[in-house]
Structure 1
Amino acid sequence: MDLCSLCEIKLTTENDSREHIIPNSIGGRRKIKGFLCQNCNSTTGAEWDTELSKQLNPLCLIFFIQRERGSPPSQTFKTTEGRSLTLHSKGGMSPAKVSFEEVTVDGKSSIRIFARDIKEAKSILKGVKNKHPTINIEQLVSDLLPTEEYHSGMLEFDLAFGGPKSGKALVKSALCLAHSAGVASSSCEQAIEYLRRDGNPCFGYYNEQDLVENRPLNIPLHCVAIQGDPDSGLLLGYVEYFGIQRMVVCLSENYVGSKISKSYAIDPVKGAELSLNIRIPLNLKDVYAAYNYEKYDPIKMQQCFEAVIPVALAMSETRERDRVISEAVKFAFKNCGANEGDLITDAQYKKLCQLMAEKLAPYLLRHKQP
């Protein structure tokens, strides 16, 4: 049996684990055995992979990534208008916190509640009664009229990426792929020194040129690649997340095995594996330059982002349209006066159309030309 690549304990059928090459938390699927013991798998997952997924969670949400297990956690963002909204993995947003305001129009007072659902709105009304004890809460509850509105501002995302924990997660991915290709982890001295003993980071940001030769359009892909050349003594890795964050990794400066080139790539939106040609034509000088941020261009990173963000916008628009139509139809049928299975009368048909129009109005107005 193999040894654990991190703690070097002998792996057995009892303590061996299935390690994702790319973490499940960001959409990875392929797993290998004989790489980490269960304890190291659990520890690095909780520490390194969790930090990686936390930093990439905004992208996981806006691209609606597909996980094997679970969903990306909802996350609250500020808008350019200063509001706080929570973005959910299944689409849609809700107020980050419940609140209410009293509005007076033409001498008539009303209460406007910002809540995620009717249940939450009702709980707010109980607090209103403490301030206005003469209010008829039961009447207010029965008069609740749920409405939806679209904010006009833009969500502000922090796409900062880096640090020792997420750095170790990406180096672990490259080491994992190398192991799956038959390269002993013990021969990847640069990666081992960094992962086991907190040595110098052996990765750097790289977008000087596109290393994916057949990059598919409009796919925010994840990929991991390794390339070993005994002539140069370099065993290099390349890791990319969402087509945006791109890093090179030096696993070894003393590689003596046969020439090797392997990659694993996935479309995290569909969960489908991709076949990519990835070349890493770098020498040691290039690698050190990447370590010193000399191979990173923020303008090119912005271009990478702009190449895939239309995918997220189109997906979001399609999901919202389908959601609005579905909820409008359900609401209209529920409140038009017809029972399930009944033939609809002319009056019920008119009521049904009216209710659907009312429910669709905010969405349609949002798309109205100025």
Structure 2
Amino acid sequence: MSAPVYCIVTGDQITPETDSRAHVIPSALGGRLKPKGILSRCGNGILDDKFDYPLIEAFQAIMNLIGGTADRSKSAIATRMEAQDGKEYVFTFGEHLTPHRHEFVEEQVGDETHFKIAARTLKEARILLGKIKKKHPSFDIDEAMKHAVTDHRWPDGPLHLKMQMGSNILFPWTFAAAAIFAKHHGLEAPPNFRSYVEQFDLATPNLPPDTFFFMPERKWIEAEGLVTHRLALVGDPTEGRLLFYAELFDAFGVGVTWPFASDEPICKTYAVDVVAGKEVPATVDLPAVTAMPWSATHRLGDSELYARTTDRIGRLMQVSAQRLFERDIEDAITRAWGTMDSRQLGLEDWVRLLEEFAHLIEKIWTNPAVTQDIREEMIKRFVDVTAEIIQKVPAPFRVAFGQILRPLQDRLVRIHRTKTGTQTSANE
């Protein structure tokens, strides 16, 4: 007969009817590890409300920007951003940036009533036109829809994204994750964990004991993946302490320490590739981590913490841009070639492909954030790809094929020069 197990939050005995999966990292943020026999349904709900949901709300924007894979099938949550003029936009990975709200303006000009409508979808446009028809029954919605124009414009200036990533959210969640991960590996949760959870109040959160920013200069934990979450539990019998470490999105590292009574060292790890949506091995440089002080490396408000966080978020933005570009490339190939069905590619197929690539580059260049250097680099890549494809063409046709493609390159150069002249004038 197995020994009874008790919920680490409520202290109630866990039965088959009350057992639940304890998500160490929330599923919505890509976590896959969810052991049973640690939390009752009631205890799990308490941790969700106090720690997991605030973390999800804080980091869902990053999950969306990089196109992360959640543990369960669900619709992506749009990320809200604000432009310099105060207008709000929403972004979902793989989709166009769209205004957060539609625009419906009614203006009286003499004896006439003018309406201006900016809708995000054709369905929404019909709904807004319906408002006009209510006031003017003779108004023809179908006729108005014939004059609808689909337009894609970038906001003027950069967009601002608000994310709450301070210690008030990270530290309490890490403390709870430490308790679950330790129990999963047969160790005790941090002392006073239950009492901390009981008195924790989201409105006035108090920070857990012995929890700190832990981002030493020396890298001591590694995991392969484009963007990863990493967990480590290290026990040092010499010091008599456990260290739990959680690093989310390769960017935010927090540690927790508590007493460790054992003669043998331990090292337990977990990592997940957030983009691929799969668990990956993690390796720890045990001599390195046991040799360094297990104490705070930064404090909230430190300029170095701000700089490091900014740098790591910048890398995540680069990942997002690269993944979106790769997605656009795949779409361009599909438009150019359709379904291949193992058919042999002809010269016309390669021409269509390069036309699609050129159009894609022009589309990217409409983004005001694209600089002169970026345009020059993209032209160089286009020329290199064109030259590589020309070499695949039978020798007798290469010159003629190159002449067909030349106008595409010339057009990109003209657009680049025009934009460069405009930017120079604006700077002057």
Which category describes the TM-score, using the shorter chain as reference length?
0.7 to 0.9
What is the rounded CA distance, in whole Å, between the counterparts of 2:334 and 2:116 in structure 1?
A: 25
**Which residue does the alignment assign to 1:273?**
279
**Which residue does the alignment assign to 1:182?**
186
How many Å apart are 1:59 and its aligned residue? Answer: 0.3
Letter in 2 for 1:319: R
**Which residue does the alignment assign to 2:39?**
36
Q: Provide closer, same or farther for how the CA distance between residues 222 and 245 of structure 1 changes in structure 2, counting only shifts above 3 A.
A: same
Aligned length: 337
Letter in 2 for 1:94: T
Q: Provide closer, same or farther for how the CA distance between residues 256 and 362 of structure 1 changes in structure 2, counting only shifts above 3 A.
A: same
* Bigger relative contact order (CA 8 A; separation at least 6): 1
What is the rounded CA distance, in whole Å, between the counterparts of 2:227 and 2:273 in structure 1?
A: 7
How many Å apart are 1:123 and its aligned residue? Answer: 1.9
What is the rounded CA distance, in whole Å, between the counterparts of 1:52 and 1:195 in structure 2?
A: 16
* SS of residue in 2 equivalent to 1:248: strand
Letter in 1 for 2:313: F
- 1:257-268 to 2 correspondences below 5 Å: 258-268=264-274
- Per-residue CA deviation, residues 32-69 of structure 1 (Å, 9 max, x unaligned), is 11111111112322332111000001101101111122
* 1:237 and 2:240 are equivalent in the alignment: no
- 1:57-72 to 2 correspondences below 5 Å: 57-69=60-72, 70-72=74-76
What is the rounded CA distance, in whole Å, between the counterparts of 1:295 and 1:204 in structure 2?
A: 16
* SS of residue in 1 equivalent to 2:283: coil
How many Å apart are 1:98 and its aligned residue? Answer: 0.7
What is the rounded CA distance, in whole Å, between the counterparts of 1:215 and 1:237 in structure 2?
A: 16
Question: Which of 100, 119, 126 is the equivalent residue of 1:122?
Answer: 126
- Per-residue CA deviation, residues 161-191 of structure 1 (Å, 9 max, x unaligned), is 1355553322222222211222133xx3154
What is the rounded CA distance, in whole Å, between the counterparts of 2:136 and 2:365 in structure 1?
A: 36
What is the rounded CA distance, in whole Å, between the counterparts of 1:213 and 1:284 in structure 2?
A: 13
CA RMSD in angstroms comes to: 3.8
- 1:276-315 to 2 correspondences below 5 Å: 276-278=282-284, 279=286, 281=289, 286-287=294-295, 297-315=305-323
**Which residue does the alignment assign to 1:338?**
none
How many Å apart are 1:156 and its aligned residue? Answer: 1.1
Letter in 1 for 2:283: N
Greater Cα shift, 44-53 or 276-285: 276-285
What is the rounded CA distance, in whole Å, between the counterparts of 1:4 and 1:313 in structure 2?
A: 43
Q: Provide closer, same or farther for how the CA distance between residues 364 and 34 of structure 1 changes in structure 2, counting only shifts above 3 A.
A: closer
Q: Provide closer, same or farther for how the CA distance between residues 296 and 53 of structure 1 changes in structure 2, counting only shifts above 3 A.
A: farther
- Per-residue CA deviation, residues 71-96 of structure 1 (Å, 9 max, x unaligned), is 44223210245331111255332211
- Per-residue CA deviation, residues 204-240 of structure 1 (Å, 9 max, x unaligned), is 1222324444354x72211111111122121111111
Question: Which of 165, 168, 171 is the equivalent residue of 1:167?
Answer: 171
- Structure 2 spans left out of the alignment, 5+ residues: 108-112, 201-205, 339-355, 367-374, 376-414, 420-428
Task: Determine if contact 1:229/1:255 at 8 Å carries over to the other structure.
Answer: no
**Which residue does the alignment assign to 2:226?**
219
Task: Determine if contact 2:236/2:242 at 8 Å carries over to the other structure.
Answer: yes
Higher helix content, 1 or 2: 2
What is the rounded CA distance, in whole Å, between the counterparts of 2:26 and 2:122 in structure 1?
A: 37
Using structure 2 for the length normalisation, give the TM-score.
0.67
Give runs of ≥4 in structure 1 deviating > 6 Å.
130-134, 282-285, 291-296, 324-330, 359-362
Identity over the aligned pairs, expressed in percent? 21
Greater Cα shift, 195-204 or 39-48: 195-204
Task: Determine if contact 1:150/1:362 at 8 Å carries over to the other structure.
Answer: no
Letter in 1 for 2:161: F
Greater Rg over alpha carbons, structure: 2
Letter in 2 for 1:237: F
- Structure 1 spans left out of the alignment, 5+ residues: 104-108, 331-355
Letter in 2 for 1:57: Q
Task: Determine if contact 2:328/2:360 at 8 Å carries over to the other structure.
Answer: no
What is the rounded CA distance, in whole Å, between the counterparts of 1:247 and 1:17 in structure 2?
A: 26
How many Å apart are 1:201 and its aligned residue? Answer: 1.2
Task: Determine if contact 2:213/2:299 at 8 Å carries over to the other structure.
Answer: yes
- 1:64-213 to 2 correspondences below 5 Å: 64-69=67-72, 70-100=74-104, 113-129=117-133, 136-162=140-166, 164=168, 166-185=170-189, 188-189=190-191, 191-198=193-200, 201-202=208-209, 203-213=211-221
What is the rounded CA distance, in whole Å, between the counterparts of 1:36 and 1:291 in structure 2?
A: 32
Task: Determine if contact 2:5/2:38 at 8 Å carries over to the other structure.
Answer: yes
Q: Provide closer, same or farther for how the CA distance between residues 237 and 361 of structure 1 changes in structure 2, counting only shifts above 3 A.
A: closer
